[in-house]
Amino acid sequence: MPNWSAIEASFLRQPHAQQLGELAASLARLNSWSQKSAIRELAPILLSESLLYVSLIQQKSEINNVELNQLQDLLQNWINVWDKSMEITDIASVASTWSQRVLEMSGLLAS
């Protein structure tokens, strides 16, 4: 099990743009790992990591970002129904789209 306290502390030391970049990378890992046989075991961890990142970004932000709220709700829903009849490819595809959106929000691509 990951050391969530250490992950959180490391994440909070990063500038906002890098935090968004970390979130985008976490979502992208869901897509890349969806082709691997270990995804059933790893997906809940990757989903929890992404949810933690969104929550931390939302806590620090003075702006209520509608898109991040939507992503937070989506991640929580995926975590809640993960063991049920969820299609990994569907989650991976949506996570990939969100990864791109978050990366664009970060401004890291423009620099």
Q: Which among 31, 24, 48, 17 is positioned nearest to 92, based on CA atoms?
A: 31
Signed CA dihedral, 6, 9, 10, 11: sign only? positive
What is the percent of the chain with per-residue pLDDT over 70, rounded to a whole number?
A: 89
**pLDDT band at residue 91 under the 50/70/90 scheme:** confident
pLDDT at 5 over 70: yes
pLDDT in tens, 29-82: 888 877 776 667 788 888 899 999 999 998 887 666 888 999 999 999 888 877
DSSP the chain: ---HHHHHHHHHTS-HHHHHHHHHHHHHHHHHHTTSTTHHHHHHHHHHHHHHHHHHHHHH-SS--HHHHHHHHHHHHHHHHTTSS--HHHHHHHHHHHHHHHHHHHTTTT-
* pLDDT exceeds 80 at position 84: no
Instruction: In whole angstroms, give the CA distance from residue 99 to residue 21.
Output: 9
pTM of the model as a whole = 0.84
